[in-house]
Amino acid sequence: MKIIQVVGISGSGKTTFIRKLCATLGKTGLVGTIKHLGHHRFLLTPDKDTTLFFETGIGISIGIDDEKTVQTERSTSLHHALCSLADKGIKYAIIEGFKEHSYSRVVIGDLSADALLSNPEVQDIIDNIALFHDFYTLQSLYKDHNHEELPPSPVISFLLPVQRSQTESLGETQIKLFIDAISQKHETQLVRIRYPVYRLEFSDPYIGIAILHPEPIESCLSAVLADIRNEGERAGLQIPGF
């Protein structure tokens, strides 16, 4: 999932630009938007069932009509919202605001801030889309490769950090050897690894793995962990925690 953060002062034209961007990007993949409301709290419709349910203190209240789903969550985490979009198969996540976060930024107007692009046209975004941050979850990695949801069978999921200094000497071949060794030992389906996978909150790339295992997770977890450590060492990977 590509993240495109749009920042600018009030009245600079951010919303107009984002609407045009949504229309264009929507032709090539699913688009999701996240807007920072700041101190302007969104008012839930009084006395509606979904509002009354949410006011009881529950974590999520969902309402579904014949054309859309409306979801209200108690979480205010941007990272959580991005994970939710990625899990749903969103290809482009457009963030309006959240200037305190440093994703790949586009500045609209006269705001002084570090940015990938300043006052661009929509086509400028399209032409430079590869420069924008990638964001993955294990669900989105699996869906991207297999074009389906993770099945409801036992799943062992890992995000394995790889120190950046190793990436210069380690190539796709060594990474593939590591992946194939794990897969063959456990006769499992393995998510195709997108390497390097850049998690925005970390400076080092990660390898994302989801193992679909026929046995109860408790009975095979220790063996999987041991093989990740042993095969990682054999492939020349130094994986913290293993």
Q: In this predicted structure, what is the pLDDT of residue 201?
A: 41
Examine the domain organization and report whether 41 and 105 are in the same domain: yes
How many domains does the chain contain in total? 2
Please name the residue that has the structure tokens 């919202």.
81
**Which ranges of the chain have pLDDT less than 70?**
138, 141-176, 183, 185-220, 237-242
Q: What are phi and psi of 212, to 5 degrees?
A: -95, 110
User: What's this model's pTM, rounded to 2 decimal places?
Assistant: 0.65
Q: Kindly report the CATH number assigned to the domain that includes residue 88.
A: 3.40.50.300
End residue of a domain, out of 73, 97, 131 = 131
Structural domain that includes position 90: 2-131
Indicate if 91 and 176 belong to the same structural domain.
Answer: no
How far is it, in rounded angstroms, from Cα 207 to Cα 195?
6
Same domain, 161 and 99: no
Contacts of 75 (CB under 8 A, 6+ apart): 59, 81
pLDDT digits (tens, 9 = 90+) for 152-178: 555 566 656 555 455 555 555 666 677
On whether both 89 and 160 belong to a single domain, the answer is no
Instruction: Please give the pLDDT value at position 42.
Output: 85
Q: Domain check: are 120 and 10 in the same one?
A: yes
pLDDT score for 192: 42
- List the one residue out of 99, 192, 206, 97 whose CA is nearest residue 161: 206
Is residue 149 located within the same domain as residue 73?
no
Please report the pLDDT score of residue 48 as a whole number.
Answer: 92
pLDDT value at residue 113: 81
Q: Where are the extended beta strands (E) located within the chain?
A: 2-7, 31-35, 60-64, 69-73, 92-96, 105-107, 117-118, 155-161, 189-190, 197-198, 205-212
pLDDT score for 240: 59
